[in-house]
Chains A and B, each alone.
Chain A
Amino acid sequence: MSSNYSATLMSKIDDFQFPFCDDINKYDKITKIGQGTFGEVFKARHRQTNKLVALKKVLMDNEKEGFPITALREIRILQLLKNENVVNLIEICRTKANSANQCKATFYLVFDFCEHDLAGLLSNVNVKFSAGEIKKIMQQLLNGLFFIHENKILHRDMKAANILITKNGVLKLADFGLARAFSQPKKDQPNRYTNRVVTLWYRPPELLLGERNYTSAVDMWGAGCIMAELWTRTPIMQGSSEQTQLTYIVQLCGSISTKVWPGVEKLDLYPKLNLPKDQKRKVRPRLAMYIKDALALDLVDKLLTLNPADRIDADNALNHDFFWTDPMPCDLANTLSTIDRSMFEFLAQKNRRQHMQQPQHGHQQRPQQPHQNNDGQYQDRVF
Chain B
Amino acid sequence: MAVSVSGPAVEGVQAPVKKQRIRQIVLNLENCILTEDKLNNTPSMQDGLDREVETDLRFIGCEFIQTAGILLKLPQVAMATGQVLYQRFYYSKSFVGHNFEIVAMACVVLASKIEEAPRRVRDVLNVFHHMEQLRRKKTPEPLILDQHYMTLKNQVIKAERRVLKELGFCVHVKHPHKMIVTLLQTILLSENNDRLVQIAWNYMNDSLRSDVFVRHPPETIACACISLAARMLQIPLPTNPNWYEVFRISEGEIEDVAFRIFSLYARPEVDVDRVDKIVKDLRAKQQEEKRLKALGTLAKTVTIADEKVAETTVVPLNKILDSNTTALYGPVKKVSGVETKGERDRYKDEDRHRDKDRSRDRTGEKSREREKSRDQGRDRSRERARERSQDRSKDYRRRSSSSEDRSSRKKRKRRSRDRSRSVSLDRRRKHRHRRSRSRPRNTSRVY
Binding site for B on A (CB under 8 A): 1-3, 5, 8-22, 59, 61-67, 69, 72, 75-76, 79-80, 89, 91-92, 94, 102-105, 107, 180-181, 375, 377
Contacts and interface: CB of A to CB of B under 8 A. Distances in A.
B170 A19 contact: yes
Contacts of B91: 18
Contact of A72 (B114, B157, B217): B114
B5 A66 contact: no
Given A2-B1, A64-B445, A65-B118, A15 B439 contact: no
19 contacts: A2-B31, A2-B217, A3-B220, A9-B10, A14-B38, A18-B166, A18-B168, A19-B1, A19-B2, A20-B165, A63-B445, A64-B445, A64-B446, A66-B110, A76-B172, A79-B27, A92-B169, A104-B161, A180-B116
Contacts of B92: 17-18
A19 B443 contact: no
Contacts of B27: 75, 79, 89, 91-92
A243 B1 CA distance: 50
A19 B167 contact: yes
B219 A94 contact: no
B384 to A, nearest CB: 8
B56 interface: no
Contact of A21 (B168, B216, B439): B168
A110 to B, nearest CB: 10
B156 A12 contact: no
B219 A61 contact: no
B25 A22 contact: yes
Contacts of A72: 110, 113-114, 171
B379 A19 contact: no
Given A61-B382, A76-B114, A67 B164 contact: yes
Interface string B2-17: 1101000110100000
A102 B110 contact: no
B440 interface: yes
B336 interface: yes
Nearest to A106: B161
A92 B2 CA distance: 13
Given A20-B25, A66-B113, A102-B439, 8 more contacts: A13-B9, A18-B92, A19-B1, A19-B170, A20-B165, A21-B169, A65-B109, A65-B118
Contacts of B382: 61
Interface of B: 1-3, 5, 9-10, 12, 19-20, 22, 25, 27-33, 35, 37-38, 88, 91-92, 106, 109-110, 113-114, 116, 118, 120-121, 156-158, 160-161, 164-172, 216-217, 219-220, 247-249, 336, 377, 379-382, 384, 439-440, 443, 445-446
Contacts of B118: 65, 69
Given A3-B249, A21-B168, A61-B381, A16 B3 contact: yes
* Residue picked from B158, B167, B169, B249, most chain A C-beta under 10 Å: B169
B156 to A, nearest CB: 7
Contacts of B30: 2
B161 A66 contact: yes
Given A64-B445, A375-B380, A103 B336 contact: yes
Contacts of A15: 19-20
B3 A19 contact: yes
A86 to B, nearest CB: 14
B156 A66 contact: yes
A10 B379 contact: no
A13 B22 contact: yes
Nearest to B33: A2
B109 A66 contact: yes
A17 B110 CA distance: 22
Contacts of B446: 64
B362 to A, nearest CB: 26
A16 B172 CA distance: 20
B444 to A, nearest CB: 10
Nearest to B92: A18
A107 B161 CA distance: 9
Given A9-B5, A102-B336, A62 B110 contact: no
Nearest to A3: B217
Contacts of B3: 13, 16, 19
Nearest to A5: B33
A72 B248 CA distance: 34
A104 B379 CA distance: 16
A22 B22 CA distance: 12
Nearest to A72: B113
